[in-house]
Amino acid sequence: MPLVAIAHGEQVREGQPFGVRIAGQDLVLCRVEGEIYALDGVCPHVGGPLAHGALHGRMLVCPWHAWEFDCVTGEHDRHPACRLRTYPVTQSDGQVWVTLD
């Protein structure tokens, strides 16, 4: 599984989703209590761009229909079977690295 540098750590601010496109895939980064998490960047409901949504604590809110996902686990707030894929994140030398497969 390749480890890919996708952002500088200072680009990912607490409480603000940060979108990246890598290898044809949209991801969203969320900083919660100092930790950075990476998830699929497209809402499974109707394809809303999650990087344009809001982050309330751990909850990432889709801008189109307000579906909410826990940015740590990827779980939907009401339907645990509906979840966003999460990706392992590493920070090193000011860079944010994500493991893609």
Domains (ranges, CATH) in the chain? 3-99 (2.102.10.10)
The pLDDT value recorded for residue 23 is 84
35, 23, 25: which is closest to 89 by C-alpha?
35
77, 57, 47: which is closest to 16 by C-alpha?
57
Determine phi and psi for 9, rounding to 5 degrees: -55, -35
Dihedral sign (CA 6, 75, 35, 1): negative
Q: Distance between CA atoms of 9 and 44, rounded to whole angstroms?
A: 27
Give me the percent of the chain exceeding a pLDDT of 90. 89
3-state secondary structure of 15: coil
pTM: 0.93
In this predicted structure, the answer to whether residue 1 has a pLDDT above a threshold of 80 is no
Q: What is the pLDDT of residues 62-84, one digit of tens each?
A: 999 999 999 999 999 898 889 99
